[in-house]
Structures are given as C-alpha cells and as structure tokens.
Amino acid sequence: MKILGIETSCDETAAAVVENGVHVMSNIIASQVPLHQQTGGVVPEVAAREHVLKMIPVIEQALKEAKVQLRDIDAIAATQGPGLLSSLIIGTCTASALALSCRKPLIGVNHIAGHIYANWLNRDADAIPFPAIILTASGGHNELVLMKAHAKFTLLGETLDDAAGEAFDKVARLLGLGYPGGPQVARAAHAGNPNRYAFPKAYMHEQSYDFSFSGLKTAVLNLVKAEHTVNGLLSEEFISDCAASFQDAVCEILSDKLLRAVKTHNAKSALLSGGVSANQRLREIIGNKISHGYFFDHKGRKQDIGRKPEFYFPSDYSFCTDNAAMIAGSAFFSHTSGKEKTAVYGRSLLADPNLSLYYSRER
Ligand code: KG4
Ligand code: ZN
C-alpha cells in the first residue's frame, strides 16, 4: 500500500511517498529555516504563506522521486494536529482536495504519532518489539508514551511547561547562538565542560513521568545575566560550558524518566523521536545507561534497570525533525490496525473529533 503523506504543522512544507508504512520511496522537505532565521523564530502568518507557495511543487517532487503518479497512490494522509492552525490548513485542505478529486481515502494523522512512527521508517514493520516506551521530544511537544501494539498509544507523561526542544531554542537565543537552537547548542556544547554548572533538574515526585524545563531555563537566564561580558559579548568558554551543562541536565532528566518507564512497564524497547532525538549527547547518555543497566531516580539514587531494552532512534537524521514520511508511515499503521475506520473522501480533517483521542492517559 503506497501512501502520499503531507506535513505542514509548523515551518516545514513536506511530502513523501511511503510503501507499507516503512519503505520510504521519497521524502521531500522544503525547509523554511532561512526565512525564520530573520525573526529568530516562526511567525505563523509567514510560515503559512510559504506553505502556500511550496505545497504543490513539493508534492509533485515527492511523486516524481518515488517514480509514481497520483493514480498509483492508495491513500492520502496529512497531519491534522497538533500544530499551527494556519499552517495545518494548507496541508489538510490540499490533502482533502486531492483525495476528493482522485477518489482516494483520506487519513488524518496526529503529528506526535507521526514522530513515533519515524522509528519504523526503512526498518521492518515488526523490527521493534513491544511493549515499547517512546520519548518524543520536539520544539512543540515532549511526551512519554507506552505502546503495547501498533497504533495503540498510552500517554504516561508530558511537559507541564516548555518542551525540551523549546528549551534548547530559548537557551540558544540567550547565548546568542541563533535559530534553530538545538543543533547550535549541541555544537557549542561539544567543546564545553558539562560539569561546570549544576543546573536544576525537575524530576518532580517519585511516580511522575511529567517534564518541566522552565526552572532550568530561568537558571540559565540568571547565569547569563550575571556573567561578565566584553563589548556585550559572552566569552566562548562560558558559552560552551553553559551549553554543555544545560544539554547534560536536559539529557539526564529525559533519559532517567524514559528508563524508569521502561523498567516499570518491563518494556522490550526504548525509542527516541522528535527533533531532539537528533541530539548525539542524548543518544550517548541513554545508550550508556542501558548498556550499564542503570538510571537515576528522583532523589539521584542509582537504580537497576532490570531487563535491558533494545534502543532505537530514527534511522536517518531527516526522520528526526518534521517530515512527511513519518506521516505516511503512521497513516499506514493506523489504517491497517483498524484505528482508522472512517477513511472517507474529502472530510474536513481539522474538524475531526478523533484528533484528541489518539492517547489514553495512564496515571
Ligand atoms: O520535531 P521538530 O522538527 O518540530 C516540532 O514538532 O516541534 O523539532 C524541532 C526541535 C527544535 O526545537 C530544535 O531546536 C530541536 O528540535 N532540535 C534539537 C536538535 N536538532 C533539532 N535539539 C537538540 N539537539 C539537536 N541536535
Ligand atoms: Zn514535529
């Protein structure tokens, strides 16, 4: 089954053709990064206008690279949320119009479910054993999810304020590193000392799988304000050490909560997804903790992890940040798992009442 996926939830205009949820035939992303660098962040109106310009050429390119025509496509999928409404409208309306005119089924995809399914791209459909715990960390969302089977998601925890990627972006701005912040902070951290500053890590109470990064962000802000500058500039050494200490604080919290959830649910695999899953230090810290079999609890005590899970992150960097292959992949699994029972022609994806029902929450 070949699905044309469309993604326009934020600032990437993307289209892809994916066969049977895993085989990526094309994955086209028109990045708006240079445009939003001018403002240091995404201005929704600017993003939406760019989607209008890029949507059709990107779809044409995705079909061309996959060497298929619209008549060869079995279904059309689009991100229906969460995301910027003015950006989502462009992708969902285009998908609806294509589905209606070509008489193809239309599948709405939750953006976070898409990020999760980035892990299956270019792997076998049954490559990742269940139960799985997935840490999704992006600019707009940060969650811990339990999956016992395909397309069955249970929300264990989520951010109470900022998402990890958003914290990276804000710290990058405080350190004068530019947009988007994640890769810039990671680059600066490379030469830095991660033990120089002991930033607060919000573990919350013992059972909590929720995240909070606002305290950490404020601590960086206070440190930067107190730091001596020369001609208004922070020293290279300070920037590197601050970036490295901040990055490690985020990675410690994310890895400890992920691995505690793995232990609690006796999971066979631990997955990373979302833009922050591109972070090398995060992958390294999680990989180390799994191979040595420990994580830290809310009081900083070392705990045994129990059964060691298989560790996965998307097989290609382009699958970490926003892309349409993950949307087409997720659509396939929801479709074939019977979750998507109402694939009809031309329905309004934005008015879909099922959007908020993708997760059940476990307390
Ligand atoms: O998934 P994504 O493209 O968009 C959302 O759904 O939000 O994620 C973008 C986020 C940005 O906040 C960006 O700074 C972060 O992912 N990011 C990173 C890295 N690459 C991207 N954060 C940390 N380290 C990275 N290497
Ligand atoms: Zn995303």
Closest CA to 60 of 30, 38, 23, 90: 30
DSSP 236-300: HHHHHHHHHHHHHHHHHHHHHHHHHHHHHTT-SEEEEESGGGG-HHHHHHHHHHHHHTEEE-TTS
The reported pLDDT for the residue numbered 215 is: 94
Mean pLDDT in order along the chain per 10 residues (363 residues): 97 96 98 85 91 97 98 95 92 93 91 96 96 95 94 92 94 91 96 95 89 95 91 92 98 97 97 97 98 94 95 97 97 82 52 52 55
Residue spans of the domains in the chain: they are: 2-119+316-351, 128-312
> Looking at residue 355, what is its pLDDT?
53
- Minimum-distance ligand 1 atom for the alpha carbon of 172: 14
The yes or no reply on domain 2-119+316-351 and CATH 3.30.420.40 is yes
* Probe target for ligand 1 pocket from 13, 117, 138, 272, with the most ligand atoms within 8 Å of CB: 138
For ligand 2, a single-atom ion, the residues with CB < 5 A are 138, 322
For atom 22 of ligand 1, which residue has the closest CA?
A: 182
- The reported pLDDT for the residue numbered 361 is 59
250 C-alpha to center of ligand 1: Å?
Answer: 13
Domains 2-119+316-351 and 128-312 share a fold: yes
In CATH, 128-312 is 2.40.50.140 = no
CB of 322 closer than 6 A to ligand 1?
A: yes
CA 62 centroid distance within chain? 22
Whole-number pLDDT of residue 140? 87
For 25-72, how does the pLDDT look when each residue is reduced to its tens digit (9 = 90+)?
999 999 988 888 888 788 999 999 999 999 999 999 999 999 999 999
pLDDT in the model for residue 342: 44
Question: How far apart are the CA of 149 and the centre of ligand 2, in A?
Answer: 22
Task: For residue range 314-353, list pLDDT tens digits in order.
Answer: 999 999 999 999 999 999 999 888 765 444 444 567 666 5
